[in-house]
Structure 1
Amino acid sequence: MLQDIYPQRLNNQYDCVKPTADSRVFFFKDRTVLLSFKDDGVISVPTYDEISQGAESLKIEYIYLFRVDKTNYFLAMTHCRLSMSGYEYKNVTILRSIISQEICFAGATAFHLFNWYRSNRFCGSCGKPLTPDTKERILRCRNCNNLVFPKISPAVIVAIKNKDKLLMTKYAGREYTNYALVAGFTEIGETVEETVAREVMEEVGLKVKNIRYYKSQPWGFDSNLLLGFVADLDGDDMINLDTEELSLAQWFNREDIPISDDGVSLTKALIGAFKDNKI
């Protein structure tokens, strides 16, 4: 999955440091990211040295994000859209298709923090400006002492098994049109196992049993922590589709599953594991 960058390691501990020439810098504008596209096909994140030469006249705030091995990554906060030769803004979904697992994971995590910083400029309690803490990843209100931590929304993804069949779905009205699995967010006062049972009933009208944990995944594209589960069908296999959420839900025999693990998403990892008879 995208977070599996071993032997490299992402260190997310906050550090109040300034960028150096070889630091990597993420620029985001809405849901686009600035990347370098070389003639040899290599895609990279611009360095601070490159940015400094191409954006001398812009007012940019650099925020430390994290470190991958010895490389520091920063977020560039600016209202301007940077224009530099050899660099293009692309939809953040391009990160999922980049060969470098480090850039994919770093970009998704950086986008998570970009959305958090952008959405929390002012205190939700008193309306005063929030300021970054110098020791931890916190936004602090100096007027009322309110502390704002990064938003992380827990959500479940469930592979529903009916012997040698897997229930696969497609979303209704979303940008992502490939096959997926039943998924949804955990509600207040709910365990993740209860979320699995509720989402399955709401989206496809089925009951499940033997709910068991598979793996988890940080999914910075949507500020989520995804929790993967496997569950067995309990009773009737007749699907009652929630057409507001899904456009399709269908049982697939193991040998007929049309997609495989892409090495990026938890959804594809679950589907691939079932296809390979590992779950």
Structure 2
Amino acid sequence: MSRRREVIMIQDIEPHCFSNEYRPKAPDGASFLLCYSGRKVLLRKTGQEEIAFPTFEEMEPYTEGLYEEYTYLFSIDGQRFYLGEGIGFYEAGDFTLEDTEIFRTAVPRHMAFAGITGAQLYRWYGSHRFCGRCGSRTKPDGKERMLKCPSCGNMEYPKIMPAVIIGLTHGNRLLMSKYANREFKKYALLAGFAEIGESIEDTVRREVMEEVGLKVKNITYYKSQPWSFSDTLLLGFYAELDGDEEITLDKEELALAEWFEREDIPVKASDLSLTNEMIMRFKNAEM
């Protein structure tokens, strides 16, 4: 019997402890600033893949009133992280702006997780500066992570988009696909976002039918993963083919989709995503 490989995904940062409770305590000099500009993030490279974020103490020479207004994000091991929003010290000192894709490979892992999680919150705060009901400027709440409109009382909470990852099997074969018109060119599993009014199992059925024209049965939940690269909560499912195996490809979504025998699956193990873990679990006959 083969020994199962222990898989560590991006959110698995043990022994470090991530706390997302909203406790907007004032920062101190050792608190970290997560500073974003679009898809860029301010950091210092301390090695080939090692990164570090600026602290308030390090950024004090570059801006006035640094401690006066702040947006608390979360803490790791009690170390607090804040959003460095609207302050003009980009590329200050030995810190440079890097694409947030760096968090796919950067270490320490708990700092990479902090960086991409902060990016998701940065996008949410940035897109909810004004009330969607009346257009007034929103204000942060003091007790919970929420933006409230002082004019009409509308309340906005961070939105998490549920999506499914689908390992579609047919005996000893797994359906693999590649996205159309995306930067990611490697093999992946079928995936898609849940729509209003449908159960997550119905999302699995619909996405498989829409993308490859196949029916499924025996839908089985496997595992979930927060995926802040796309503001998504991923829900992994395995399902079995029900009926005809001939693929009808949605060419707007997929560049290709094909069945692979277990031993021929052209994917290598990595320690980042739920998709890879599910592929390797099938490839290694662990299900």
Give TM-score, length-normalised by structure 2.
0.92
Instruction: Kindly state the Cα deviation for residue 100 of structure 1 after the two structures are TM-superposed.
Output: 1.9
Structure 2 residue aligned with 1:115: 123
- 1:265 is aligned, of 254, 273, 282, to 273
1 CA distance for matches of 2:68 and 2:89? 11
Question: What corresponds to 2:206 in structure 1?
Answer: 198
Residue 2 of structure 1 deviates from its aligned partner by 0.8
Aligned mates of 1:39, 1:69 — CA distance in 2: 23
Q: Is the 8 A contact 1:154 1:185 kept in 2?
A: yes
Distance in 2 (CA, whole Å) between partners of 1:197 and 1:236 is: 15
State how far apart, in whole Å, the 1-side matches of 2:262 and 2:147 are. 48
Kindly state the Cα deviation for residue 104 of structure 1 after the two structures are TM-superposed: 2.0
Q: Aligned pair in 2 of structure 1 residues 134, 259: CA closer, same or farther (>3 Å)?
A: same
The range that moved more, 112-121 or 25-34, is 25-34
Q: Distance in 2 between matches of 1:22 and 1:90?
A: 22
Distance 2:38 2:133 in 1: 26
**Map of 2:134 onto structure 1:** 126
Instruction: Supply the AA of the counterpart residue of 2:231.
Output: S
Structure 1 spans left out of the alignment, 5+ residues: none
Q: Deviation string for 1:67-96 (max 9, x for gaps)?
A: 111211111111646122322211111101
> For the Cα contact (< 8 Å) 2:128–2:138, is it kept in 1?
yes
Query: Paired residue for 1:216?
Result: 224
Q: For residue 26 of structure 2, what is the aligned residue in structure 1?
A: 18
In the alignment, the residues of structure 1 paired with residue 131 and residue 47 of structure 2 have an alpha-carbon distance, to the nearest angstrom, of 46
Give secondary structure in 2 for the equivalent of 1:33. strand
Given that residues 63 and 89 in structure 2 are in contact (C-alpha distance below 8 angstroms), is that contact kept between their aligned partners in structure 1?
A: no
Contact 1:29-1:81 at 8 Å conserved across structures: no
107-116 or 252-261: which moved more?
Answer: 252-261
Q: What 5-or-longer segments of structure 2 have no aligned partner?
A: 1-8
Structure-1 residue corresponding to 2:6: none
Shift of 1:259: 1.7
Q: Deviations over 1:159-180 (max 9, x none)?
A: 0011111111111111211111
Match of 1:237 among 229, 232, 245: 245
Name the residue aligned to 2:169: 161
Determine the C-alpha separation between the residues in 1 that align with 2:30 and 2:213.
Answer: 53
Return the offset for 1:262: 1.6
* 2:59 aligns with one of 43, 51, 64: 51
> How large is the Cα RMSD of the aligned pairs?
1.8
Give the structure 2 partner of residue 28 of structure 1: 36
Match of 2:160 in 1: 152
Mapped to 1, the partners of 2:183 and 2:68 lie a distance apart of 31
> Structure 2: how far apart are the matches of 1:139 and 1:75?
15
> Offset of 1:277 from its aligned partner?
1.2
- Whole-angstrom CA distance in 2 between matches of 1:138 and 1:57: 24
The one-letter code of the counterpart of 1:54 is Y
Matched residues, number = 279
Match of 1:91 in 2: 99
Query: What per-residue deviation string (whole Å, max 9, x for no partner) do you get for residues 180-204 of structure 1?
Result: 1110010111000000000000001
**Alpha-carbon distance, 1:38 to partner:** 2.2
